[in-house]
Amino acid sequence: MVEAVHKFKLKKEDTVEIIAGKDKGKRGKILKILRDKDRLVVEGANIVKKAKKRRSQQDRGGIIEIEAALHSSNVMIVCKKCGPTRIGYKVDGDSKIRVCRKCGEAL
């Protein structure tokens, strides 16, 4: 069975705020989007410790801290004017523009 990949309203480099979980209230940029799993990696959020194997003589192994993926439902895009908001669309000729649902400003 093939799973349908959802359309993401969020894009890489968008600023988002985490609305649920241990990092609730933190803001950061989206570094990576995993569309098949509905998850995304946010800069400076959901930090986990991971054991890294030493690959070469110069490379340092040991325990490192990296950002783990969050579910897309746990983040909300941040508007420059009014803060965390939902995304709406405005059709402008042939293109669709993402807009803030609160103030209507382009995101």
Enclosing domain of residue 69:
15-79
In a domain, 58, yes or no: yes
Look up the pTM and report it.
0.78
Q: Assess if residue 104 is contained within a domain.
A: no
Region 63-74 average pLDDT: 91
pLDDT tens, position by position, 5-31:
667 888 888 899 999 988 899 999 999
Q: Is residue 67 part of a domain?
A: yes
- 80 neighbors 29 (Cβ within 8 angstroms): no
Number of domains in the chain: 1
Note whether residue 65 is domain-resident.
yes
The CATH number given to whatever domain includes residue 31 is 2.30.30.30
- Would 34 be classed as within a structural domain? yes
Let me know if residue 3 belongs to a domain: no
Alpha-carbon distance 87 to 3, whole Å? 25
- Split at pLDDT 50, 70, 90, the class of 107 is confident
Instruction: Specify if 102 maps to a domain.
Output: no
Show the CA angle centred on residue 26, arms to residues 89 and 6, nearest 5°: 40
